[in-house]
Amino acid sequence: MGLIIIFILLLFLPTYSASTGDDKKNPPYHDCADNNGYSYSSGSTFEANLDYTFATQLAVDTAFGTYSNFTNGTGADPLYALYYCRGDIDVNTCYKCIKDAVQEVVDKCKFKKQGIVWYEYCTLRYANHTIFSLDEEEPKRRHNNNTSSLVSDPVLEPHRQLFNTTMYNLINEAAAYKSKHLGFAANEANLSLFLTLRGLAQCSPYISSSLCERCLENALRQMRLWSNTILFTPNCNIGFELHGSLPVPPAPLPSSNPDSQRGNMQP
């Protein structure tokens, strides 16, 4: 029956509405391993393992938790999969997001033994090798919110220290795994009277604290400083937005050049 089982299941799951976030108009992003060695055929054992994971195990787990991992099969056709949702959403929103993620990865990575899909609220990944506790920063995708007009504005440079402090505090909190939400942290800071920074940091629950910190720090270094951005990697994602506006600079004063004034005088 192949992937038909998954599509039948999707028909009976509620639709993931754009009202729960911006995932429909921004992400999802995906990546599939395109090498020939990472392909499977219809009716194969790997496909059966994938079907069972998506249509049975994952459907059950997402109804009760915001992250989980799965292992199915042995020998030449093992299947490893995981998902995790953003730490500030509820189980129902996570459930709907993962439902869409399953549909996306089945559509985009059909007959591929490795696939990953990122939404703003969830990450879903599967592979034919273990994907738990690995130090991985590729593949990655960058989402830029081009609504900001503050990119590379030199007026913002005096706020760099507060920007860095806020973002690295988020990284430390997420990596410490001591926050209310495992591997997740979000906060905001007023950079000035006119400008607010909102940041978030998220790690896979299946990597160590040190790998989480390294992943987030490396991701932050790859981001444009004053551009509203989120960077997705297999093990973590980090993002920030700037809200508000900069004060309008004063208009230049009229010229007080004595020569120009003399030129307008009558003899």
Q: What is the pLDDT of residues 219-258, one digit of tens each?
A: 998 887 767 788 999 999 999 988 876 555 555 555 555 5
% residues pLDDT > 90 (the chain): 43
Whether residues 169 and 85 fall in one domain? no
Burial of 215 (0-12, 13-18, 19+ CB in 10 A): buried
Whether residues 155 and 102 fall in one domain? no
The mean of the pLDDT values for the chain is 78
Burial of 234 (0-12, 13-18, 19+ CB in 10 A): buried
pLDDT tens-digit series, residues 51-73: 999 988 888 888 889 999 999 98
Q: What's the rounded Cα separation, in Å, for the pair 174 and 179?
A: 7
- The predicted pLDDT at position 158 comes to 82
Which tokens is 231 given? 């960077």
> DSSP code of 39?
B
pLDDT tens-digit series, residues 109-164: 999 999 999 998 999 999 998 888 776 766 778 777 654 444 446 667 788 889 89
Q: What's the rounded Cα separation, in Å, for the pair 188 and 156?
A: 16
pLDDT band at 14 (very low <50, low <70, confident <90, very high): very low
- The predicted pLDDT at position 218 comes to 93
Number of domains in the chain: 2
Whether residues 227 and 197 fall in one domain? yes
Whether residues 126 and 31 fall in one domain? yes
Domain that holds residue 212: 142-244
Whether residues 110 and 160 fall in one domain? no
Whether residues 123 and 150 fall in one domain? no
CATH number of 218's domain: 3.30.430.20
Burial of 134 (0-12, 13-18, 19+ CB in 10 A): middle
146 occurs within a structural domain: yes
- The predicted pLDDT at position 7 comes to 27
Whether residues 214 and 98 fall in one domain? no
Pick from 6-10, 11-15, 91-95, 158-162 the range whose average pLDDT is largest. Answer: 91-95
100 occurs within a structural domain: yes
Q: What's the rounded Cα separation, in Å, for the pair 107 and 101?
A: 10
153 occurs within a structural domain: yes
Q: What's the rounded Cα separation, in Å, for the pair 103 and 23?
A: 14
pLDDT at 200 over 90: yes
pLDDT at 35 over 70: no
32 occurs within a structural domain: yes
pLDDT at 173 over 50: yes
Whether residues 127 and 180 fall in one domain? no
Whether residues 32 and 148 fall in one domain? no
249 occurs within a structural domain: no
266 occurs within a structural domain: no
Phi/psi for 91 (5° steps) reads -65, -40
pLDDT band at 166 (very low <50, low <70, confident <90, very high): very high
Whether residues 17 and 108 fall in one domain? yes
Whether residues 71 and 127 fall in one domain? yes
- The predicted pLDDT at position 181 comes to 58
Last residue of a domain, one of 96, 114, 132: 132
pLDDT band at 20 (very low <50, low <70, confident <90, very high): very low
pLDDT at 182 over 60: yes
Whether residues 38 and 113 fall in one domain? yes
pLDDT band at 16 (very low <50, low <70, confident <90, very high): very low
Last residue of a domain, one of 111, 132, 153: 132
Measure the CA angle with vertex 18, ends 8 and 27; round to 5°. 85
